[in-house]
Amino acid sequence: QVQLVESGGGLVQAGGSLRLSCAASGGTFTATTVGWFRQAPGKEREFVATISWVPGYSPFYTNSVKGRFAISRDNVKNMVYLQMNSLNPEDTAVYYCAAAPGGTTIPTTQSEYRYWGQGTQVTVSS
């Protein structure tokens, strides 16, 4: 059983940056793929980015955040980060981190992830 806790959300002006953190405990975190999802008001939860624990596997991003967001992980500290730059109001959402067992696929759907955090709010003002 892996427990995930997100932090780092907040209010930022358009064009600004935020770094979200996801702290993991329990289970075998180092053998999981970790992803970030987000859910805007009135919209479905959507995939944002994912990173495998396997060396050599490149992170994968949804098109709308490519070049602006960067996902990284520290397996020693059991942490995953989402650096978000050039934020715009369309990025406003609750951001969730999630973990999927294994590391040799690129899971982009919610059903592929077994463990979820409680979410952290990101609000981008125009």
CB of 78 closer than 8 Å to CB of 94: no
Q: Comparing 105 with 121, which gets the higher pLDDT?
A: 121
Across the range 39-53, mean pLDDT stands at 95
pLDDT tier, 73 (very low <50, low <70, confident <90, very high otherwise): very high
Least confident of 37-51, 69-83, 92-106: 92-106
Query: Which range (5-14, 28-37, 67-76, 113-122) has the least confidence?
Result: 28-37
With a pLDDT cut of 70, the percent of the chain lying above it is 99
Q: What pLDDT, on a 0 to 100 scale, did the predictor assign at position 53? A: 84
Question: In this prediction, what percent of the chain has a pLDDT beyond 90?
Answer: 80
CB burial readout 42-80, b (16+ within 10 A) else e: eeebebbbbbbbeeeeebbbbeebeeebbbebeeeebeb
- At 102, the pLDDT band (50, 70, 90 cuts) reads confident
pLDDT of residue 70: 98
Q: What is the mean pLDDT of the chain?
A: 93
